[in-house]
Amino acid sequence: MILLVFDFDHTVVDGNTDVKILDVLGNKKNGIKYDHSTGWTEHMRQIFVGCEKQGVTQADMISVLKELEMTEGMETLFQRIKEFKDKIKVVIASDSNSWFIDVLLSHFSIEDLVDEVHTNPADWNGNLLALKRYTTNEKCSRCPINMCKSEIVLNSLTDDISHVIYVGDGSNDLCPVLNLQEKDIACPREGYGLSKKLDTIDVNCSVVRWSNAVLIVDHLNYYLNVQ
């Protein structure tokens, strides 16, 4: 069994869902600034309060989110996953939110291929998209306060997992990559933060950089022992 872990923004989708959703506010962003002391999740919670005040609806948000496309080659990768789903466990570990991810997994018709989604919970309370932290991270100094992706990977492992393939792009994907073993593969997206960090850091696992996710299919095939 292969554990295939994906980040979501700039990895499964070719864009950032949190940034994209600002399009629904147009020129009415209410001057909300990101405060590093409270973290990104609290920033987005304030954004959603601003959306409610401006009369933004679920339909408005869905319309904007559906403008995002899968990254190049990702559809092919998920097709391969579908063909060998009994041998692959798929996990998403993302600092986006559950509602955004559910909307897009359904839009791309891949929701049935994903076994677990670990992200910040979000649900509609009237006209407000209410957002909570995934957890409170008090142990890992490398990761943000709401999430340690190493912990997610560790908790997703089962006795029948032979290899881990981790696919991501950002700096918050570094922690799990540092904990991968020699038999595993890290797949950082070319030109993004994780790939740049791995230029200067030695890791135990293999590193396969990609700009087209079809490249990941080749390595998945190797672990699956198929052509």
Profile the chain (227 residues) by mean pLDDT over runs of 10 residues. 97 96 74 69 91 92 97 98 97 98 98 98 97 87 88 95 96 95 97 95 96 96 79
Distance CA 82, CA 104 (A): 17
pLDDT at 136: 81
**Model pTM score:** 0.94
Start-to-end C-alpha separation, the chain: 17
Q: Which of 9, 95, 173, 184 is catalytic?
A: 9
The reply to whether 18 belongs to the active site is no
pLDDT at 188: 98
The reply to whether 9 belongs to the active site is yes
pLDDT at 91: 98
pLDDT at 227: 42
pLDDT at 34: 64
Q: Which of 7, 95, 173, 184 is catalytic?
A: 7
pLDDT at 139: 83
pLDDT at 112: 98
Q: Which long-range contacts (CB under 8 A, 24 or more apart) does 106-115 make?
A: 107/65, 107/66, 108/70, 108/75, 108/78, 110/78, 113/78, 113/81, 113/82, 113/85, 114/90, 115/89, 115/90, 115/91
pLDDT at 33: 66
